[in-house]
Amino acid sequence: MAIMDYANPTRFLGLAGRVLPWLAALTAAVLLVALWLAFQAPADYQQGETVKIMYIHVPFAWLAMAGYTALAVSALGILVWRHPLADVAHKAMAPIGAVFAFLCLLTGSLWGRPMWGTYWVWDARLTSMLVLLLLYLGLLALRSAIEDAGQAGRAAAVLTLVGFVNVPIVKFSVDWWNTLHQPASVFRMGGPTIDPSLLWPLLLSAVGFTLLMVTLHLAAMRNEILRRRLRALEARAAAEAAFA
Amino acid sequence: MLGDHASFIVAAYAGSAVVLLGLVLWIAVDGRLLRRSLDEMEARGVRRRSDSRGGRP
């Protein structure tokens, strides 16, 4: 069966039902090992033990941007291919991405206070990440403000694509402007600048949280399909009652 | 063990755990409620058109 065949909501439900328990177990296992390794890793020579916050803060930041990129791909699916599953994927990802963006800001703030002496500074990286969170919240608000589901999906897709310009700004803000936030130290030309003893737990943590995001997204997509089926059944029951 | 700034590290991990557990619970409970509502509809005899025609659920 071709991968595109799973773009059928009924087939997707079957696939999600089979995959989700395994994915959830794998997520839990990888996260447990990653967090154990993070707490075994040595302290940073400058930051001391506060570097432990990196193992959650950095994956949250990557996934907040990855989640928005997934929203942009879904938005293309809504506007160009008009596929119902693209709208389901878009609607399901928005609250999950918002949570990851919020956690990135929360953990960054708790890391910033002991290292920079402040919880918040209006530098380009922090401000663009806050804009990303506001974009996620804006998408949630927009969907709930428009009653017609199709219209809400198309409006949210347009806002997603307009807001996608912020993703490269978040990524390159530390290169384009003079920021208090440190420059990229993993995905950069010339390779990572982090010592392998800290890098490997970080990468495994990123894999674990990525699995968590995928698991939650699949479960939320399944819920959204069931919600649409329920609405259709309620409408059918109401119509039958009216003509009875 | 976690140095002078242990409270910040603990707050970051605990806060993240609480928020993520909340998200997991919200999605799990939402799914359970939706399935229950769909089962109730089915018990009342309301089915999708594809089911009425003998199609797959």
Res. A8: pLDDT tops 60 = yes
CB contact at 8 A, A157 and A107: no
Q: What angle do CA A177, A71, A95 make, to 5 degrees?
A: 95
Domain interval for residue A42? 11-179+196-243
Strand-pair partners of A48: A44
In a domain, A187, yes or no: no
Q: Two tokens at A126?
A: 């922090």
Q: With CA atoms as reference, report the closest residue to B34 among A13, A149, A97.
A: A13
Domain count of the fold of chain A: 1
Give this complex's ipTM: 0.90
Burial A100-126 (b: 16+ CB within 10 A, else e): bbbbbbbbbbbbbbbbeeeeeeebbbb
In a domain, A57, yes or no: yes
Angstrom distance (rounded) from CA A150 to CA A167: 26
Q: Quick check: A107 and B2 CB within 8 A?
A: no
Q: Quick check: B12 and A107 CB within 8 A?
A: yes
Name the percent of chain A lying above pLDDT 90.
73
- From B8, B37, B46, residue closest to A50, measured CB to CB: B8
pTM of the model: 0.91
Q: Two tokens at A214?
A: 């995928």
CB contact at 8 A, A15 and A85: no
Q: With CA atoms as reference, report the closest residue to A75 among A64, A89, A96.
A: A89
In a domain, A186, yes or no: no
Band (pLDDT 50/70/90 cuts) for residue A162 is very high
In a domain, A112, yes or no: yes
Interchain CB contact of A99 with B (< 8 Å): yes
Q: Which residue has the tokens 């659920």?
A: B57
Mutation target vs A (from B2, B5, B18; most A CBs, 10 A cutoff): B5
Name the percent of chain B lying above pLDDT 90.
61
Band (pLDDT 50/70/90 cuts) for residue A4 is low
Whichever domain contains A211, its CATH number is: 1.20.120
In a domain, A3, yes or no: no
